[in-house]
Amino acid sequence: MLRIGDIHIQAKRADRILEELHSYIDTFPKEQHIVFLGDYVYHFQYDRKSLLQLFHFFLWLYTSWKHVYILAWNHDWIHNHFVYEEAQHAFAVSGQDAWSIQFFTTPSVVTIEGQDCLFFPYTPFLEEDDTIVYTKKFDALKNSEHIGEQLSAKANRILQSSIDSRRSSTQSTLPLCVFHHRYIAQTTFPWQKTTFAYKNHALSPHFADISDVILVSWHIHHPFVWENYVCIWSVRSTSPLEANHMKYCFQWSVDSQKLRATPIEVNPYLRIDAWDVSMVDHDFISNFRNEIFVDSCRYMSSWNISCICDELSSHLPLSSTSISLEHDTLSYDDIHQVITPELLQATAQCVLKRQKNRHTVDTNSLDIASKNLDSSISWWKELLKEYIHKKWWKDAELYIDTLEELQIV
C-alpha cells in the first residue's frame, strides 16, 4: 500500500509534481493500492488545468490496474462541493471493477490487503449517525458554544463509535488504520512548535495511545512517527515553515506492519546560516541535505510503528531548489563571497537575507511576545468578526460560521 500526502497542485509546480509521483509509483511496480490523503488544491486556488492534470494521473493509475483511494479534505471543497464531485458520481454509477477509483467524502471503512482502513474525511457538514449509541466522553465539547469544539465533538464521537463498532464485529489482530487530517489536542509532537486545542478541529489525545489503532495524518509541517501516530505531510514545500525539511512518500507493509519512507524532491527549500560558513558549494549542499535526512530519520520510529528511511538519491535537483542565505552584513552584490557562481547559477532561486541584531536578541521580549501571541491573534480575529457584522450584517453569522469551519477565526 502506497500513501501519498498533500499534493497542493498548482500550474507552476504541476509538471514537476506529476513527474515525481510517476517516478515514485514506478519504483514499486508490485504495489496495487495507492492512497491519496487529501488537499489536492493549492490553498483554495482552484487551478482547473492543474486539477485536470492530477485527475488524468488518477486515471493513468486506474488504467494501469491499480486500486486508487482519493480522500477529500478541507482545501478540496467549494462550500459543500468536492472538487472531483462529478468524477465521484461517474465512478459510483459505473459500478466497481476489479480495479477501481474510490472517492471518500464521508467516513468509510475499506479493507485493503486484509487491513481495515477508516477513511475519515473533512466535510463541510459532518453528520453523525442517529442509530449509533455514542459515548458521553465528548458531551462537554458537544455542548460548547464554540463551533470548532462542536465540530471536534462530532469528529471524536464518530471516530470512537467506529473503533467500538469494529472491536465488536471483527476478530482481526491487525489495528484499524485511520486516515485523517486533524490535529491531536493538547499534544506537542516532534518538530511541532504549537499545541492545538479542540477549537482547532482536533482529536482526543487518547486516540494516539490505543494499541489497536494507527492514526495516519498529514496536518503538521514535518514527517514523523510518534507512538501510534504517523504524520506523512506533503509532497512539496508550500511555505517557509517547511525550510530544511525532507518530503516523503510512504509504503506500508500490512504483513510486517512496517513503514518505508522514500524521499521525494519537488521544490526543496534550504535555509542556511551563512555567517559561519566559508563557502557554500555543491559539496556543502550535499552534506547539508544529508544532515537534514539523518535528523529527519530520528523522528521516524516509535514503540508501535517501525519505519525505514530510504537513502537520498545521488541526483540533486538543483534546478528546482531554492536557497536562502542568512548573513548579518553582506549586501547582495557581495553574495559571491559566500556561494560559488556555479551553484548560484544552478539553483532555481537564491536569496540573501539579513539577520538583524543577531548577537543582541532580547530574550525577555521574545518571552513576552510568545505569551502575548494567542491574545494578539484573538484580538485580530475579534476585529475581523466585528467588521463582518458591520459590513454584511444580514449574513454575518453565516460568513463567520464558514470562517470558523476553515479555521480562519
pLDDT, one tens digit for every residue, the chain (409 residues):
999 999 999 999 999 999 999 999 999 999 999 999 989 999 878 899 999 999 999 999 999 999 999 999 989 988 888 999 999 988 888 766 666 899 999 999 999 999 999 999 987 666 776 666 667 788 888 888 888 898 899 899 999 999 999 998 888 899 999 999 888 998 888 767 778 899 888 999 999 889 899 999 987 778 888 889 999 889 998 888 788 988 999 999 999 999 999 999 899 999 999 888 889 999 999 999 999 998 888 888 777 788 999 988 756 678 889 999 988 888 888 888 899 999 999 999 898 887 655 545 555 555 555 555 555 566 677 778 777 766 776 677 777 777 877 777 6
Domain span at residue 134 reads: 2-267+277-315
Q: Do 170 and 37 share a domain, yes or no? A: yes
Q: Determine, yes or no, domain membership for 292.
A: yes
Report yes or no on 360 lying in a domain: no
Does this model's pTM top 0.75? My answer is yes
What's the confidence (pLDDT) of residue 103? 94
Are both 29 and 147 inside the same structural domain?
Answer: yes
Asked if 238 and 372 sit in the same domain, the reply is: no
Residue 363 lies in a domain: no
* Whether 184 and 289 share a structural domain: yes
Q: Do residues 374 and 307 both lie within one domain?
A: no
**Structural domains counted in the chain:** 2
356 domain-assigned: no
pLDDT of residue 119: 96
Q: What angle do CA 155, 160, 166 make, to 5 degrees?
A: 130
User: Does residue 285 lie in a domain region?
Assistant: yes
Do 392 and 308 fall within a single domain?
Answer: no
Residue 345 in any domain: the answer is: no
- Residues 395, 286: one domain? no
Q: Are residues 152 and 301 in the same domain?
A: yes
Judgement on whether residues 220 and 101 belong to the same structural domain of the protein: yes
Same domain, 286 and 387: no
Question: What is the per-residue pLDDT for 372?
Answer: 53
Same domain, 17 and 157: yes
Q: Is residue 105 part of a domain?
A: yes
Residues with Cβ within 8 Å of residue 128, at least 6 apart in sequence: 134, 154, 157, 158
Give the chain as a 3 state SS string: CEEECECCECCCCHHHHHHHHHHHHHHCCCCCEEEECCCCEECCECCHHHHHHHHHHHHHHHHCCCEEEEECCHHHEECCEECCHHHHHHHHHCCCCCCCEEEECCCEEEEECCEEEEECCCCCCCCCCCCCCCCHHHHHHHCCCCHHHHHHHHHHHHHHHHHHHHHHHCCCCCCEEEECCCEECCCCCCCCCCCCCHHHCEECHHHHHCCCEEEEECCCCCCEEECCEEECCECCCCCHHHCCCCCEEEEEECCCCEEEEEECCCCCEEEEEHHHCCCECHHHHHHHHHHHHHHHHCCCCCCCCEEEECCCCCCCCHHHCEEEEEECCCCHHHHHHCECHHHHHHCCEEEEEECCCCCCCCHHHHHHHHHHHHHHHHHHHHHHHHHHHHHCCCCHHHHHHHHHHCCCC
User: Are 119 and 236 within one domain?
Assistant: yes
In a domain, 359, yes or no: no
Which CATH number do you get for residue 28?
A: 3.60.21.10
pLDDT the model gives residue 365:
53
